[in-house]
Amino acid sequence: MKVLVATEKAFAPVAVNQIKLVTEAAGYELALLENYKNNSDLIRSVVDVDALIVRSDLITAEVLDAAKKLKIVVRAGAGYENINLAASTAHNVIVMNTPGQNANAVAELAFALMLCLARGGFNGKSGTELRRKSLGIHAFGNVGKHVAEIARGFGMDVYTFDPFVVEKDIKKYFVKVCNTTEELYSKCQYVSLHMPSNEKTNKSIGYDLLKKMPKNAVLVNTARKEVIDEEALLKIFEERPDFRYLADVAPDCKATFEEKYKGRFIFTEMKMGANTEEANLYACLAAARQIVDYFKTGNEKYRVNK
């Protein structure tokens, strides 16, 4: 059995060592394709592998066509919109994710971005504090829950909207429940996005919601750039000089921000949310264990392409 770890953005070495330990203990061969630059490198490397571990790497129909022996792909992370699920199913390839393993790292990045903005990028001038400011957590999944825990420590006034989570599970985190997105955005100076990217959520954060945010609004996006309606965001930025945007991965309209809105945004150079040794370790270990468990017992618990 051959397992390939294919990562355009390599995992921390400590995490790769764990994959080695788990796969070797199961008697499997481990191959690494790290920091590759072209899709053709990936296509060449998958021809003889039985299992694949990836991050945001694009697993297209072309990659699946080349991977003649492939039985399982595990996305070491939560979001799996980078994997062509229909083509995987058509190729009899099981796709899994490792939900929750990156959640704390992403939540900490949301606070790093908020703090950096609130303190003016540590520029020597007086900034502001997060304490007693209102924070809206849009979607209360694994990352949203970690954001809620951290926000409590900061003394923020925390709200959420998530129609898929029951009220009693939200209240355990000392978070107030909003019944609509409009209510959430109207109440909160900071809104942090934690929904997946899919056909329902993409471009769902639009003008009507953003314009409801109170004075000195800060939108924090450590989810996916696709969930934002970028035209709407630019319109708000034009109309409201008090509006700020913080994002893990710059929007497609980054050049306009750089030209017109200096000081009102922070964009990471590269997707950084899950880039901690700890998150890499948890996600890698989960991915390797899920592969071994699938081959040994047929466990499909984290399968996402039914």
CA distances from 260 to 14, 121, 254 (A): 42, 18, 10
Closer to ligand 3PG by CB, 188 or 223: give it. Answer: 223
Span 100-119, contacts to ligand 3PG by CB under 6 A? 102
Strands 190-193 and 134-138, sheet pairing: parallel
3-class secondary structure, 79: coil
Closer to ligand 3PG by CB, 57 or 178: give it. Answer: 57
Q: Does 217 bind ligand 3PG (CB under 6 A)?
A: no
Helix-, strand-, coil-residue percentages of the chain, each rounded to 5: 40, 20, 45
| Number of shown-chain residues binding ligand 3PG (CB under 6 A) | 10
Closer to ligand 3PG by CB, 93 or 274: give it. Answer: 274
If you write DSSP's letter for every residue of 144-181 in order, what string do you get? HHHHHHHHHHHT-EEEEE-TTS-HHHHHTTT-EEPSSH
Piece of the chain touching ligand 3PG by CB under 6 A; list 12-20, 44-52, 201-209, 272-280:
272-280
Helices (H), 46-191: 61-66, 85-90, 103-118, 142-154, 167-171, 181-187
CB 186 within 8 A of CB 214: yes
According to CB under 6 A, which one of 79, 136, 141, 144 is a site residue for ligand 3PG? 79
Cα(297)–Cα(207) distance, integer angstroms: 49
Closer to ligand 3PG by CB, 236 or 291: give it. Answer: 291
Q: Does 144 bind ligand 3PG (CB under 6 A)?
A: no
Q: Which residue is nearest to ligand 3PG (CB)?
A: 77
Q: Does 56 bind ligand 3PG (CB under 6 A)?
A: yes
Piece of the chain touching ligand 3PG by CB under 6 A; list 154-162, 172-180, 273-281, 297-305:
273-281
Closest C-alpha to 198, from 160, 224, 162: 224
Piece of the chain touching ligand 3PG by CB under 6 A; list 40-48, 129-137, 169-177, 270-278:
270-278
Cα(233)–Cα(245) distance, integer angstroms: 9
The minimum distance between CB 271 and ligand 3PG, in angstroms, equals 5
Q: Does 77 bind ligand 3PG (CB under 6 A)?
A: yes
* Structure token pair of residue 21: 């330990």
Report the interface residues with ligand 3PG, using CB under 6 A: 55-56, 77-79, 102, 271, 273-275
